[in-house]
Amino acid sequence: MAFRPSKKRHRHLVAGDVNLIPLLNIFTIVIPFVLLTTVFAKTAIIDMYLPQERGGAQSAPAVIKIFTVKVSEKGFELGGIGGGGLIPTKQGAFDFGRLKEELIKIKDAHPAHEEVIILFEPGISYDMVIQVMDATRETVEVKDEKEVRRTLFPLVSLGEAK
Amino acid sequence: MPFAPSKKKSKRSKIVVGTVTLTSMMDMFTAILFFLLASYSAQGDILTVDPRFKLPMSTATQPPRLRLIVQATPDDIMVEGRRVSGVKEALREGGFLIKPLFDELNEQAKKSEFIAAKNKAVKFTGETVIQGDKTIPFALLERIMFTCGQAGYNTISLAVTSRGE
């Protein structure tokens, strides 16, 4: 014969809940306020230097080393201490991966050099200008599974490729 | 033999008191709040960007400073929000100087120098920031930069949308 159902079973245990309603009230006020005042798209600026002579590819005194990156439809052309190598476009897109490798090599060879003159063809878009400036200014390297920013050539001058 | 189930029990209406479980919602709110507070910047935004144009993305993180603003949309060139010239006219002109922009910048430089003469705390530094739409050609940017340089604004910065942390 089965046991008789226990009478205790019908006694309800009232769990002591924390009253969350006031907290909820605060949150519903604070969250919309913070949402409205948060700036998601942060603007930043890039400092730039005008080339001493327009056109950029001036005949600088032999003592001063210059480094130029020429951006044209063919791709990137590294001049001056860059050695004159061409990084051709890949299926119409600029090869930023190789540009980065080359820039690191040049920086390793000339660690004290900070200036770069970037020459653009007139039709290149402003977006592209900024991308090339970003690529030459700094790079992100992975060291010990950590991303480390490495400054390459922060003093950028712009000029027109001719 | 087991007891027969009580008849009372089956008839007893099962009223469940409806309490909404708020704990999970609280968790969510707390997470959102912390995220928003982390990305909250108390200093506000000095550069207000016109919604008509899009700044290019960049890894730059240098915060903007208060400077003379030259804006270049695909159609117009503006100084401090006031239109001075159309892009087509600017590109059609031979040479690098954009005359209307040059005049306006000279005007602004005169104003700044006038204030600087009266108030020692203010100095005319010739700093300007260019806000350009990401589609504008380099030829236009170059002309604007050249004109700024001619008008005495030699320290030029480019405004971008920071994708960095």
For A89-108, the pLDDT digits (tens) are 777 788 888 888 888 888 88
Which residues on adjacent β-strands are paired with residue B127?
Answer: B155
B158·A48 Cβ contact <8 A: yes
Prediction ipTM score: 0.70
How does strand A115-120 pair with strand A67-72? parallel
Q: What are the structure tokens assigned to A63, written together? A: 């003592």
Judging contacts by C-beta atoms under 8 Å, the chain B residues touching residue A6 are: none
Judging contacts by C-beta atoms under 8 Å, the chain A residues touching residue B156 are: 47-48, 50
B3·A5 Cβ contact <8 A: yes
Q: What percent of chain A has pLDDT over 70?
A: 81
For A62-74, the pLDDT digits (tens) are 456 778 888 888 8
Q: Are A133 and A98 in contact (CB under 8 A)?
A: no
- In this complex, the residue of B36, B135, B156 whose CB is nearest that of residue A34 is B36
The whole-angstrom separation of Cα A74 and Cα A46 is 26
- In this complex, the residue of B29, B154, B161 whose CB is nearest that of residue A31 is B29
A126·B32 Cβ contact <8 A: no
Cβ–Cβ pairs < 8 A, chains A and B: 149
Which residues on adjacent β-strands are paired with residue A80?
Answer: A67
d(CA A22, nearest CA chain B) in Å: 11
What is the CB neighbour count within 10 angstroms for residue A22? 8
Residue B119, class by beta-carbon neighbours within 10 Å (0-12 exposed, 13-18 middle, 19+ buried)?
exposed
Averaged pLDDT of chain B? 80
Q: What percent of chain B has pLDDT over 90?
A: 1
Q: Name every residue in A having a CB less than 8 A away from some CB of B.
A: 1-2, 4-5, 20-21, 23-24, 27, 30-31, 34-35, 37-48, 50, 54, 120-131, 133-134, 137-138, 158, 160
Sign of CA dihedral B113, B118, B122, B123: positive
For A137-157, the pLDDT digits (tens) are 888 877 777 777 888 888 888
B3·A24 Cβ contact <8 A: no
Sign of CA dihedral B88, B89, B93, B96: negative
B62·A160 Cβ contact <8 A: no
Tokens 């306006």 belong to which residue?
Answer: B104
**Site from B15, B37, B59, B162 to mutate, A interface, most A CB atoms within 10 angstroms:** B59
Judging contacts by C-beta atoms under 8 Å, the chain B residues touching residue A56 are: none
Q: Does B138 touch chain A (CB under 8 A)?
A: yes
pLDDT score of B164: 61
In this prediction, residues B53-74 reach a mean pLDDT of 82
Q: What are the structure tokens assigned to B78, written together? A: 């503006």
Q: Are A153 and A137 in contact (CB under 8 A)?
A: yes
pLDDT score of A74: 81
Identify the band that residue A131 occupies on the pLDDT scale cut at 50, 70 and 90.
Answer: confident
pTM for this prediction: 0.71
Identify the band that residue B31 occupies on the pLDDT scale cut at 50, 70 and 90.
Answer: very high
